[in-house]
Amino acid sequence: MSGKFVKVKCPKCNNEQNIFSKPATVVKCLVCEDVLAKNTGGECSVSATVIQILE
């Protein structure tokens, strides 16, 4: 299974957070609990703005 860590910015509160690009579960913003990414049956959907891809 491949995946990357990405730095995203929460669209709601502009909090910057590192998340896994293929999460097994829902990833929420640590500040406002807005959903940043979720796994929808194998397909990962990142709804937050990706500002950097971390290796």
Rule CB under 5 A: which residues touch Zn ion? Answer: 10, 12-13, 15, 29, 31-32, 34
Cβ burial 31-43 (10 Å sphere, 16+ → b, else e): eeeeebbbeeeee
Would you tell me how many other CB atoms lie within 10 Å of the CB of residue 21? 17
Of 5 and 49, nearer to Zn ion (C-beta) is 49
Of 9 and 55, nearer to Zn ion (C-beta) is 9
Q: How far is the CB of 42 from Zn ion (least distance, A)?
A: 26
Of 10 and 37, nearer to Zn ion (C-beta) is 10
